[in-house]
Amino acid sequence: MSVHSLIQRSRLSVPACLLFLALAPSTAHAQLQIEKGDFTAKFGFEGQMWADWQQDQNTTLPQGYAQNLYLRRVRFMLGGTLFKNVSYFFETDQPNLGKSPKALNSGFLVQDAFLEYKVSNAFRIDGGLMFVPFARHAMQSTVAYYSLDISPIATVNNTVTQSSGLRDLGFQARGFLAKDHFLYRIGLFDGARDASGRNSLRTAGFVQWDFFDSETGYILPGTALGKQKILAVNAGFDTQGSYRAISANVTADIPVNKGDEIGGQMQYIHYDGQQKFTTIPDQNDFLAEIAYYSKRIKTQPFFKYESENFVLASQIAKDYNKWGGGVNYYVFGQALKFTGQIQRVIPRNTPNKPSNEFSVQMQVFYF
């Protein structure tokens, strides 16, 4: 049966498809995978179940907690090659499934869908729906965060640019130079479109230098659990019309003590929507994370700090500091992981009260 006919028979359940692929001796290997000449298809999934208690910042009433049990992420992935130098990646997601206001039938969305033509290791062309190459933390693997989840400082521009999960439609060139230690990505994207469609497109770019191991994947790693030696410095930009944003980051994953790891990052992002996106005031945002992974006991305590800092006096009531910490417990590496985290948000220039958030996650991943 052809791949086309398998896709056409969409009523066949996903678990049945995966079971068929896993058991088919002529096509499947250790990975859920099909191979026929230059064509390959690799299947995977990701699930993150959350329990979350988030306190409000009401200044007059007793502070209560919003309580939610929901799927933070549920994703199915398909990637591989069509020809010798042409690869593809497709991913679906149904984020925040069941979170208040609860809606269990909202449906999946397309998270990634792009082709890549590799001219050489130094020059590749991607086209489709993909990460906007702007900030490392925004392009980091969702299964390998040092702490529980992505920081809100990396998502400030997501809605106004009409992006989807930090992805946008467009073309990008990317490649690796200096024996794969220098990484670059630069692209032209759809951005926010007006009714006429005649407004300017969006441009973004990202460069990185890896001092030790190189990082050549589409998604950049977070914690490597002692399996890589990473020290990377990078910077990026994002612009459309008068809107401007820049980023800078330092990331380290250093193996120590025969399999342990000291890891973390510092991320800086400056946004200024100007006349293009007036809902993004001029601001300077920071994230710092540090974690220590112990291979012997499969645990990784972590600490984090975030802040948003607005430039205009009329906006400084939005300034806040956020402190957090917790622990990851790796049953089978990233394939099965449990995380517990507590965060405290402290407003700086407003009568709103500090608030807490408690979260627990169970993660399942295979790709």
The count of other CB atoms within 10 Å of the CB of residue 189 is 22
Count of structural domains within the chain: 1
CA dihedral over 145, 148, 153, 159, signed as positive or negative: positive
pLDDT, residue 63, reads 75
Q: Is residue 7 part of a domain?
A: no
* Residue 16, H or E segment: helix 14-23
pLDDT, residue 27, reads 39
Q: Is residue 84 part of a domain?
A: yes
Give 16's contacts (C-beta < 8 A, 6+ positions apart). none
Q: Is residue 178 part of a domain?
A: yes
Say which CATH number the domain at 73 has: 2.40.160.10
CA 82 to CA 39: how far, in whole Å? 5
**How confident is residue 166, by pLDDT bands cut at 50, 70 and 90?**
very high
pLDDT, residue 4, reads 45
Q: Is residue 281 part of a domain?
A: yes
Is 311's pLDDT higher than 90? yes
Q: Is residue 2 part of a domain?
A: no
Q: Is residue 134 part of a domain?
A: yes
Residue 66: domain span: 12-366
Q: Is residue 1 part of a domain?
A: no
Q: What percent of the chain has pLDDT over 70?
A: 91
| Tally: H helices and E strands in the chain | 2, 17
Residues 173 and 124 sit within 8 Å (Cβ to Cβ): yes
Residues 338 and 361 sit within 8 Å (Cβ to Cβ): yes
pLDDT digit string (tens) for 69-92?
999 999 999 999 999 999 999 999
**How confident is residue 354, by pLDDT bands cut at 50, 70 and 90?**
very high
The first and second tokens of residue 123, run together, are: 């020059």
pLDDT, residue 16, reads 41
**How confident is residue 61, by pLDDT bands cut at 50, 70 and 90?**
low
Q: Is residue 4 part of a domain?
A: no
- The stretch 105-110 carries a mean pLDDT of 89
pLDDT, residue 13, reads 41
pLDDT digit string (tens) for 192-230?
999 999 999 999 999 999 999 999 999 999 999 999 999
DSSP conformation class of 3: H
Beta strands in 178-298 (DSSP E): 182-189, 202-210, 230-240, 243-256, 260-272, 283-293
Q: How is 121-164 classified by DSSP, letter by letter? A: TTEEEEEEEEE-SS-GGGGB-TTS-SSSS--GGGSTTTTTTT-B
Task: Select from 268, 298, 303 the least CA-distant residue to 286.
Answer: 268
pLDDT digit string (tens) for 28-46?
346 789 999 999 999 999 9
The count of other CB atoms within 10 Å of the CB of residue 262 is 15
pLDDT digit string (tens) for 270-306?
999 999 999 999 999 999 999 999 999 999 999 999 9
